[in-house]
Amino acid sequence: MPIPQTIEALIEEVRHLEQKIDAELEKRQEPFRYQIKKGKVIFEKELLARQKLFKKNLFTYLSEVPLLSFLVSPVIYSIIIPAVILDIFATLYHAVCFPVYKIPKVRRSDYIIFDRHKLGYLNLLEKMNCLYCGYINGLVAYAQEISARTEQRFCPISHAKKPHQTHSRYRYFFSYGDGERYKEELFQLRLKFEDLQQREKKEDEADAVK
């Protein structure tokens, strides 16, 4: 029993909507006149100079931070320790195991992105916070994508109770209780990553143009 055409059509519709959202978000960026060349953000000099007009002095910024924020900051930054450990093990695991199971590797640079520190209106502490948040949130997304592709390989079955938030591969999973499709199509679904390969090919072509 193949995937119902209505579901395939909806998945395709979602892809188109996501592309429209991305295009609309890119339009919002146009007034800020920057280019991305070889992965680096380059602002026009005039705009970069204008950004610095909105930069708050570091000492002024610190004077406005509540005392309680200073007290809890060690707890916030201590997360870097388990985060780095997760990064190492997730990267090692998927580098070693994904080729064995013919699962496409996750491009780390698609998830962990460092570019906000280049903004001229951020002071030193704000830049550090942006680097930290970019790393932690990017790492979580990176690890989730690794686990999503792993789950598609080993247990591509939807839950009876719908999760509050699902990962990128969940839409392709078998319905809970659909033993017939699970038995007949498990092998094919384990290797169904064409959409990832097509997307990455388009991204590579777009980067080549830039």
> With helix as H, strand as E and coil as C, how does the chain read?
CCCCHHHHHHHHHHHHHHHHHHHHHHHHHHHHCEEEECCEEEECHHHHHHHHHHCCCHHHHHHCCCHHHHHHHHHHHHCHHHHHHHHHHHHHHHHHHHHHHCCCCCCHHHCCCCCHHHCCCCCHHHHHHHHHHHHHHHHHHHHHHHHHHHHHHHCCECCCCCCCCCCCCHHHCECCCCHHHHHHHHHHHHCCCHHHHHHHHHHHHHHHHC
- Angstrom distances, CA of residue 107 to CA of 17, 83, 146: 23, 18, 10
Looking at the whole model, is its pTM more than 0.85? no
Six token digits for residue 80: 């870097």
CB atoms within 10 A of CB 169: 21
**Helix 124-154 vs helix 80-101: crossing angle, to nearest 10:** 30
- Domain residue ranges of the chain, discontinuous segments joined by +: 33-209
- Report how far residue 47's alpha carbon sits from residue 41's, in angstroms, rounded to the nearest whole number: 13
- One digit per residue, the tens of pLDDT, for the chain of length 210 reads 455 557 667 766 777 776 676 666 566 555 555 656 656 666 656 666 666 666 777 778 778 888 888 788 899 999 999 999 999 999 999 999 999 999 999 999 999 999 888 888 888 888 999 999 999 999 999 999 999 999 999 999 999 888 888 898 998 899 888 989 999 999 999 988 988 877 777 766 666 655
Residue closest to 192 by CA, chosen among 102, 106, 91: 102
